[in-house]
Structure 1
Amino acid sequence: MPELRASALVDAPVAAVAGALLETSLITGFGVKVPGALLCLGDVLTGPFGVKLTVTRADLSGVSAAGEFLELHTDLVVTGAGTMVVDRVSWATVGGVVGRFADVTVGRGMALRVLEKRSALLAERCRELSEARVVVGAAIVRGGRLLAQQRAYPESHAGQWELPGGRVEPEEKPEEALVRECVEELGVPVEVGAQVGPDVPLKKDMVLRIFAAELVGGEPEALEHNAVRWLTADELPSTDWLPADRVLVPALQQLLI
């Protein structure tokens, strides 16, 4: 299969770049139809001429989508000067003069123009997300299970599940906010660990940032939600998550392995 490669250095943390790549608004401008605002593992994308691609990766390492005739891969590499974004596009071709002409004019020419335009959009979005307000969430694991809580409000999301957490207040560090939120929502203290997965865009100027966390003591209670529940790795994909939390399912499953 012919392959086209392109790369660009983005002056932003890898978590912000990976989060920006999740936003489907970066590709809908190129005639791609998507199921939602954020890319999730297993989503089916429909491009021009009815080409269908299935999302096979969407995490801190980048995103990938593959179909019968086309594959798209974006890999992220952390460097001392920022995050290197490496795009790879490969496609099936037909033989003969017509096939070679299509590879050069339609394949390489069109793909390169699309990648260049998307690269500029990505860089701008990453700058916005690097300065965005932060909502924190806790990935609390105990005995190979992840703690989730069920929303009671608003009505549009009542009954769906999310990780404990909330907004970071002014002059508050994300880790401090997460400790406070776990006490307010669950009635338990936690010890905050490393970040899990990318920064997930919630709004133009707001991102969700998840941290691994460990219970220090006590038993979590649903003080502000309908219920709390401990989930196994196998239960995570079928749980009715809020859209932003669903994006993180692959990263959360890794915590339970």
Structure 2
Amino acid sequence: MPELRASALVDAPVPVVAGALLDTSLITAFGVGVPGPLLCLGDVLTGPFGVRLTVTRADLSGVSAAGDFLELHTDLVATGAGTMVVDRVSWTSVRGVVGRFADVTVGRGMALRVLEKRSASLARRCEELRAARVVVGAAIVRDGRLLAQQRSYPESHAGQWELPGGRVEPGEKPADALVRECVEELGVSVVVGEQVGPDVPLKKDMVLRIFSAELADGEPEALEHNAVRWLTAGELPGLDWLPADRVLVPALQVLLN
């Protein structure tokens, strides 16, 4: 199976680059069909000539998608100067002269041009996300279970689930914003830990950033939502999450396990 590799250094931390890779606008520009604005584990991507790929990885380590005769992998490596983005494209060759010609002209030539353009787009998107406004969320864990809350509004998202949190106000630190939001939404105080998963793009100039958290005082109540619920790792994939929170399910499962 022939393989093409390309690498580029992006001036941004891994969570930002991993988040930018979730933005499907980076691949729709090349004629790839996607089910939504964010890449999610299990999504099916459609491309020219009937190509279908299933997303098999979308986390801090990068993204991968695989089909019957084509595989795409993007790996992220933290360095002192930013994040090294390593792309790998492999495909099944057709035998004979035609196959060798396709490997050189279509496979390597076309794939390399696409990767170069994607790298430039990725760098621009990372620059936007580094300056983006932040919405924080709390991954509150107790006894191996994660706390989620069910939206009551707006109507388009009523009944769906999300992690507690909200916008960081101007001049406010993300951790302080998260403590404030948990008091307002749940009536509890929390101790904020490390970031969980990548920065998830919400808009062109806004990202969702999740932090682990532990209860310090109080019992969570649904003060601004329909309900709250403690979930096991196995229950996370089947819940009707908001799209941005659903992207983080693999990272949340790792946190619980």
- Equivalent residue for 1:136? 136
- Equivalent residue for 1:80? 80
CA distance in 1, matches of 2:141, 2:213: 7
Alignment of 1:138-153 (within 5 A): 138-153=138-153
Unaligned runs of 5+ in 2: none
Unaligned runs of 5+ in 1: none
Offset of residue 217 of structure 1: 1.7
Offset of residue 95 of structure 1: 1.4
CA distance in 2, matches of 1:85, 1:173: 29
- Equivalent residue for 2:108? 108
Offset of residue 122 of structure 1: 0.3
Deviations 1:140-185 (A, max 9, x none): 0011110000001000000000000000001100000000000000
- Equivalent residue for 1:174? 174
Offset of residue 14 of structure 1: 0.8
CA distance in 1, matches of 2:26, 2:213: 32
How many percent of aligned residue pairs carry the same amino acid? 87
RMSD (Å), alpha carbons: 0.4
SS at match of 1:114: helix
Matched, 1:193 2:183: no
- Equivalent residue for 2:42? 42
One-letter identity of the residue aligned with 2:131? E
* Number of equivalent positions: 257
Matched, 1:24 2:21: no
SS at match of 1:109: helix
CA distance in 2, matches of 1:98, 1:40: 36
One-letter identity of the residue aligned with 1:175? A
One-letter identity of the residue aligned with 1:219? E
CA distance in 2, matches of 1:130, 1:43: 26
- Equivalent residue for 2:247? 247
CA distance in 1, matches of 2:2, 2:106: 12
- Equivalent residue for 1:123? 123
Offset of residue 203 of structure 1: 0.3
TM-score w.r.t. structure 2 length? 0.99
Deviations 1:212-257 (A, max 9, x none): 0000021000000110000111110000000000000000001111
One-letter identity of the residue aligned with 1:110? M
One-letter identity of the residue aligned with 2:91? W
One-letter identity of the residue aligned with 2:44? V
SS at match of 1:15: helix
- Equivalent residue for 1:202? 202
SS at match of 2:64: strand
One-letter identity of the residue aligned with 1:192? V
One-letter identity of the residue aligned with 2:141? V
TM-score w.r.t. structure 1 length? 0.99
- Equivalent residue for 2:225? 225
Matched, 1:10 2:30: no
- Equivalent residue for 1:97? 97
Offset of residue 188 of structure 1: 0.3
CA distance in 2, matches of 1:38, 1:243: 8
SS at match of 2:76: strand
Offset of residue 80 of structure 1: 0.2
CA distance in 2, matches of 1:171, 1:126: 22
Runs of 4+ with >6 A deviation: none
- Equivalent residue for 1:52? 52
Deviations 1:175-213 (A, max 9, x none): 000000000000000000000000000000000000000
SS at match of 2:217: coil
